[in-house]
């Protein structure tokens, strides 16, 4: 079969090729994943712990060591365990870890921000890359939500995902590099007293 220049398939083939290249490129960046995701309820606070695996590849280290601020943004969503998708989400919050390398002092400054507000700052020396990776990829007992007592004893869960910056596909299309969403085990809070 010969396609003339006005045939619809002639324009579709290059688009399909671009789409498959996009999927391959996205898959190559999808190696980072969240593991050991746990939620602990302490009074009216939800504390989360997690580990971000495979985030520090050679490209990420190059970006950090360039001296430009390099961040990992964690997104968290508190949801009701309901079948209806349109009324599940109750709250959302972000936790950003930003590393900046100082070549003169030979150290990294790591700032942690919860919903844009600085909550912690620490210094890591450049010879200890494992400490820097740990500071950016391990969260322990981080208070992400204040839990209001629901009007009924809903089962709740927390979802998490990490964003590691962006890349351009085929030098044209910017793509956000993220992990898949992970869900915590479901938990309940007692209903409000009448």
Confidence of residue 69 (pLDDT cuts 50, 70, 90): very high
Q: Reply yes or no on whether the pLDDT at 129 is more than 70.
A: yes
Q: Is residue 41 a contact partner of residue 145, using CB atoms and an 8 Å limit?
A: no
Average pLDDT over residues 4-25: 53
β-sheet bridge partners, residue 89: 79
Q: Is pLDDT above 80 for 91?
A: yes
Determine the Cα angle at 91 with ends 90 and 93, to 5°.
Answer: 160
Given a cut of 70, whether residue 192 has pLDDT beyond it is no
Over residues 48-58, the mean pLDDT reads: 91
What pLDDT shows up at residue 157?
Answer: 92
Over 80: is that where the pLDDT of 163 sits? yes
Backbone region of residue 90 per phi and psi (left: phi > 0; alpha: psi in -120 to 50; beta: other values): alpha
Give the pLDDT score at 28: 44
The pLDDT of residue 125: 87
- How far is the C-alpha of 50 from the C-alpha of 161, rounded, in Å? 10
Distances (CA, A) of 95 to 99, 117, 148: 13, 9, 20
pLDDT score at 96: 97
Cβ atoms of residues 153 and 190 within 8 Å: yes
Of the pLDDT bands very low, low, confident and very high (cuts 50, 70, 90), residue 191 is: low
DSSP string, 129-188: HHHHHHHHHEEEEEEEEEPPPPSS--EEEEEEEEEEEEEEETTTEEEEEEPPPEEPPPEE
Position 2 scores a pLDDT of 52
149, pLDDT greater than 80: no
Q: What is the predicted pLDDT for the residue at 181?
A: 95
pLDDT of residue 59: 82
* pLDDT over 80 at 5, yes or no: no
pTM for this model (two decimals): 0.78
pLDDT band at 88 (very low <50, low <70, confident <90, very high): confident
* pLDDT at 26 (0 to 100): 46
């Amino acid at each position: 079969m010969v396609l003339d220049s006005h045939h619809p398939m002639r324009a579709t083939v290059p688009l399909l090729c671009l789409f498959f290249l996009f999927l391959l490129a996205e898959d190559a960046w999808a190696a980072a994943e969240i593991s050991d995701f746990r939620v602990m309820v302490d009074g009216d606070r939800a504390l989360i712990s997690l580990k971000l695996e495979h985030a520090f590849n050679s490209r990420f280290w190059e970006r950090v060591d360039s001296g430009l601020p390099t961040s990992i943004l964690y997104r968290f969503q508190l949801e009701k365990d309901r079948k209806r998708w349109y009324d599940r989400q109750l709250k959302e919050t972000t936790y950003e870890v930003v590393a900046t390398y100082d070549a003169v002092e030979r150290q990294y400054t790591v700032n942690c921000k919860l919903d844009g507000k600085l909550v912690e700052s620490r210094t890591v020396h450049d010879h200890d890359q494992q400490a820097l990776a740990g500071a950016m990829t391990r969260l322990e007992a981080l208070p992400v939500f204040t839990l209001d007592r629901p009007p009924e004893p809903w089962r709740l869960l927390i979802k998490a995902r990490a964003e590691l910056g962006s890349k351009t596909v085929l030098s044209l299309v910017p793509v956000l590099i993220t992990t898949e969403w992970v869900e915590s085990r479901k938990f309940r809070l007692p209903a409000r007293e009448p």
